[in-house]
Amino acid sequence: MKYFTPPYPERHKTKPSAIKAILQARQDLLSIWTEDSFRFEFMSQQILKQKIFIANDPRIVKDVFVTKHHIYEKKSPQMQRALEPLLGDGLFISDGDTWTSHRHIQTPLFHTGFVQNYSKIMVNTITEIVDEWANQKSSTVNVLPEMGRLTAEIISRTLFGENLGKEKASKVVKAFADYQSSIKQTPLSSFTDIPNWTDKFSIKSHMAMRAAKRIHAVVDEIIDKASEKENQETLVAHLLAANEDRESETALTREQIRNEIIVLFMAGHETTANSLAWVWYLVSQSPDVEAKLHAELDEVLGDKIPDFSDVSKLPYTRAIFDEGIRLYPPVPILSRQASEDDVIRKKKIPKGSLMLVVPWLLHRHKKLWDQPDTFIPERFLPGAENKPNKFAYVPFSAGPRVCLGKSFGIVESVLSIAIIAQRFRLTLPEGTEVLHECRLTLRPKGNLPMTLEKRDKSTKA
Ligand code: HEM
């Protein structure tokens, strides 16, 4: 097998100065790291008034996410500030009793039985999109926006049980993109802690507020429609029903329900879309991997469209996904704020310090992975030697705050890869350079245009 090593940002030989790191972080969070960042276990830096620690060893990651969850459950103030206008007290940025109560009401809605139900929506939506591709005149497809359209449609049908429709879907997706590009979104980029009033007057913040309002308006309209219709098997209907069962003092308000729905919409589509876009890029550069993927699909499925029960029968397809999000974790930095003083590896962690777990570093750590920068799906196959340590691989985070939609996202991705690769090959026009964009999430820069090739009998085994 020949494996592909995608190009990655240059790694510095020496640590850049704090100011240089801030300036660089504002442009690109992946280009600030030194060679040593991929070897060290625990790092610290003082940037102006902010003390920052980076947990880069599975044992410390376990401490932060599990053992000492009570100290590190709070998201960084920068992250909270960036998302609060959009998400309010939504799950993604809340903590304490609010988080516990909101998480508690939603957890059952993501159990296997529910995901199995939602998978029917996934299969229908993916099939519709590949049918559209089959009928379109152009052989080019803009992979990143198309994966965004696919996953936005899936999450919105799951939440609301009706087609969002192209117009509304693109309105919401565009508003999310506008929001992202206009906020001070990176946990490393706001160390200077400029007081909030300056943010309020900046043009960018104004754009973020406008984008947030657009999203609120669409979601409000959809909730109104969802609550009008009875007996719907939608996630929103289940959430509303679970809320009705609560005592009035613990029930979520309408605004809190809206916040949670926006969290699910936000967290539930962009991450998966980015993962899939990276997968198509990686597979297109790895002919041997692509051949193995096709062989698995042909052998297990033939021309049958897969369903939920097939997901566990497609280990190689799953391994491609797992390896894709190892190399390109959609959430490349997880940030927390220490709520009390702590000590780790004999280092004093003062209350208020930022504690970062950086999947971009951890997933490519030289002591934890063999050929860390190379795309090798085989390392995730059942029975593979040197299976990664659970806390060295955290694309969905870990511990009590682990991604609520982890199973949903995995099933959705495996089905998407399988159904698309059954019908098409996606190839990258020669000479295309694929760069990355790293804001709140990590995605390919631009639209990632690729060429569609129908798979005919000769490419099927
Ligand atoms: C490949 C797909 C996905 C990836 C890689 C991913 C990754 C993550 C990560 C890393 C976090 C934790 C962030 C942090 O600690 O700062 C998170 C949280 C979350 N994710 Fe996902 N996610 C994916 C798909 C989904 C889907 C499909 C949904 C919903 C349908 C979802 C809903 C959530 C929610 C609600 C949270 C907040 C959980 C909490 O704080 O209690 N995610 N996700």
Q: Is the beta carbon of 145 within 6 A of some atom in ligand 1?
A: no
Q: Is 438 annotated as a binding residue?
A: no
pLDDT higher at 370 or 26: 370
Which of 236, 256, 403 to mutate for ligand 1's pocket (most ligand atoms within 8 Å of CB)? 403
The overall average pLDDT reported for the chain is 89
Q: pLDDT grade, residue 461 (50/70/90)?
A: low
Task: State yes or no: pLDDT of 254 exceeds 80.
Answer: yes
**Residue 7, domain member (yes or no):** no
User: Residue 354: inside a domain, yes or no?
Assistant: yes
Q: How many Å lie between the centroid of ligand 1 and the Cα of residue 265?
A: 10
9 assigned to some structural domain: no
Q: What is the model's pLDDT at position 164?
A: 61
- Please work out whether the CB of residue 91 comes within 6 Å of at least one atom of ligand 1: yes
Predicted pLDDT of residue 196: 43
pLDDT at site 311: 98
Judge whether 8 lies within some domain. no
Q: How confident is the model at residue 331 (pLDDT cuts 50, 70, 90)?
A: very high
Alpha-carbon span 421 to 415, nearest angstrom: 10
Q: How many domains does the chain have?
A: 1
How far is C-alpha 223 from the chain's CA centre?
A: 24
Question: What global pTM score does this model have?
Answer: 0.93
Written as six digits, the tokens of 312 are 């566990």
Residue 432 has pLDDT above 90, yes or no: yes
**Domain-located, residue 121:** yes
- Asked if residue 92 has its Cβ within 6 Å of ligand 1, the reply is yes
pLDDT one-digit tens code per residue, 382-428: 999 888 899 999 999 999 999 999 999 999 999 999 999 999 999 99
Residue 3 covered by a domain: no
Q: What is the pLDDT of residue 460?
A: 59
pLDDT exceeds 90 at position 313: yes
Tell me if 130 is assigned to some domain.
yes
**Domain range spanning residue 399?**
18-459
CATH assignment at residue 92: 1.10.630.10
Q: Is the CB of 334 under 6 A from ligand 1?
A: yes
Is 217 within the bounds of a domain?
yes
Mean per-residue pLDDT for 76-93?
Answer: 88
Mutate to test the pocket of ligand 1, among 73, 271, 335, 358 (most ligand atoms within 8 A of CB): 271
pLDDT at 228 over 80: no
pLDDT per residue as tens digits for the range 363-377: 999 999 999 999 999
Q: What is the whole-number distance in angstroms between the Cα of residue 379 and the centre of ligand 1?
A: 23
| Residues 426-443: b if buried by 16+ CB within 10 A, e if exposed | bbbeeeeebebbbbbbbb
